[in-house]
Structure 1
């Protein structure tokens, strides 16, 4: 059984999005603007379409970062660099890195034409990051424009993914446990999202109490796996009914076929951060 078209499109575009998460390049881009370090830059770049929001808004919309970690970067970042400048620099960075990975104007241009009408077709109710990205004008640079379209699809799906977890009674922190349970990357994810060992353990205990996580191994139980699969299915359906269906299944097939060699080039370039490949990035 083939994957849902919404998931296939997201997987194809997600690989193009990932170079913009490259630690060294992101840190350097932020330093040019006056931002302090990788995490301040990453949080500012990703939240910049929302405007100069406070830390609580970023915590709520991102869904998986510890409030203390976000509070060290936001809103302090906006006193250093306005959101509009962050948007401009993240577009330029994405264009630079994708070109380094082999994406050219000639390749990106036709894909941008295929996808350019998608943002206006998206249903953005309850999808703040998706809405904010969909409202951005596309950069004139076709490679950066392709990245921005990937960002819009990513954030629109991510908003729906978070909503599906919330509807299942699972917090963003708990969702991270369930997403990495089969990968054995708990400590990596805990540190990447800024949670204390105590907070991480409390979230695991809550899942164990619900019968979703095995107390000894930390692996998903049968019930936990069923819930995670249900959430992923709902995320696919929400993405599709929320606007991606305008592309049609055949349209998605064509776009994914055109994206396949680009995704392969990006993966081979070493620019895709290891943690996003290991742990996913929808929450």
Structure 2
């Protein structure tokens, strides 16, 4: 998916570079004592619910979100920070050698500092950026949405009219050049309690905003599923993972609570939830990709 080539969009994208919220909280690693305490708590809770041994580590992580997050943070920091420690050590040694009065020591300092610089460049390009990109950016998440949302036929005038009507119904706007959109989606996407600008950038400002919890009800009423499910009313919710239990669940009608699945949960911060009548009728089984597990949210 590429940025829109529509006239006038370039100026808006330039503004977005300065208004988009780029800051992200770095995950803090818990101490070993705290992790052991979480293991003990998770083991006790799992044993009370199953009354069976042995208890596998995978079962503990699945049943205890705080433990799972703590272990993810530990793995994240070990993967990304260990090379930095070695590079820093080499640079400190290089600075000491460069300050020496012996020529051979200064030459060795130049070589070691060059090695550290090359290692740092390799680390940034081949480890750091590929690791943080799926979590810091929304690009992969919205690619997943466009691959799942169901497409109107671009060659059909009838489908084009339906798509425009849907955009006016939810987004209250129609892009001047519809061809700038990667897919003419049948299933709308709701940005719940989000104002990061990335969701507007990657959807060309067609995402349905629900800036406040009270905004979700009229959106679902417009879609015709606030009271009960109707066939063909699949939709998506884009939000922060921390808001699912604290805000989203309380804002959904009772027949929709917990009746969704994560279709993109790779990000540490953002999550894409899919809701459709099949999931309400029965739990989803399987996954959308061979190496990506789709999780039923409970």
| Larger relative strand fraction | 2
| Larger relative helix fraction | 1
Q: TM-score, normalised by structure 2?
A: 0.26
Determine which structure has greater relative contact order: mean sequence separation of CA pairs < 8 Å that are 6+ residues apart, divided by chain length.
1
